[in-house]
């Protein structure tokens, strides 16, 4: 997550942004490989291949004033673990957040018009993508861990 977001958070709330962890480059490559394998994506055209397989979530847009990420998970019937991962850049930059902090501070993490993000958990059984315009897409794996 970019530093300016943490600075804005501190100005707005008067506290530091809750702790989160930047994933190593090697681990990012491993996650991308596992996603390609699990969702049977085309490696050379990874992003396009993922987008083609995702379903559009048409109940709400992330730019909506009342948007709640946890409600999206409930509507799709996805159960999450205690940690969520956010891909910022073609699975080269990934941050790990507590699920609670991510849901609570989603609007401080994702910025409309600027961010295209992919969200997933440790099991990689699903990926939710939120585009810069607030459109939400998701995919679930038939495989379970």
Of all helices (H) and strands (E), which one includes residue 71? helix 69-76
How many whole angstroms from its chain centre is CA 9? 19
Distance separating alpha carbons of residues 85 and 60, to the nearest angstrom: 22
Write down the pLDDT at residue 59. 86
Q: What is the mean pLDDT of residues 15-40?
A: 96
* pLDDT value of residue 9: 97
Query: Mind listing the pLDDT tens digit for each residue in 28-72?
Result: 999 999 999 999 999 888 889 999 999 999 888 899 888 899 889
Residue 39, CA distances (Å) to 45, 69, 77, 121, 127 in order = 13, 23, 19, 14, 10
Give per-residue pLDDT as tens, 112-139: 989 999 999 999 999 999 999 999 999 9
Domain range summary for the chain, segments of one domain joined by +: 3-140
Q: How large is the average pLDDT for residues 25-29? A: 97
pLDDT value of position 145 = 44
Nearest CA among 34, 37, 15 for reference residue 26: 34
Distance in angstroms (rounded) separating the CA atoms of residues 97 and 86:
8
**Torsion, CA 137, CA 120, CA 40, CA 34, rounded to 10:** 160
Q: What is the mean pLDDT of residues 8-29?
A: 97
pLDDT of residue 142: 65
């Amino acid at each position: 997550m970019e530093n300016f977001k943490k600075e804005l958070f501190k100005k707005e709330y008067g506290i530091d942004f809750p702790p989160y962890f930047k994933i190593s480059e090697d681990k990012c490559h491993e996650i991308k490989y596992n996603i390609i394998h699990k969702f049977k994506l085309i490696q050379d055209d990874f992003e396009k291949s993922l987008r083609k397989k995702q379903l559009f979530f048409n109940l709400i847009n992330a730019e909506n004033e009342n948007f709640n990420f946890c409600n999206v998970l409930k509507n799709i019937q996805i159960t999450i673990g205690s940690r969520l991962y956010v891909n910022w850049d073609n699975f080269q930059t990934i941050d790990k957040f507590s699920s609670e902090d991510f849901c609570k501070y989603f609007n401080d993490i994702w910025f409309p018009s600027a961010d295209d993000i992919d969200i997933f958990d440790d099991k990689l059984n699903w990926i939710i993508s939120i585009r810069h315009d607030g459109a939400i897409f998701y995919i679930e794996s038939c495989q379970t861990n």
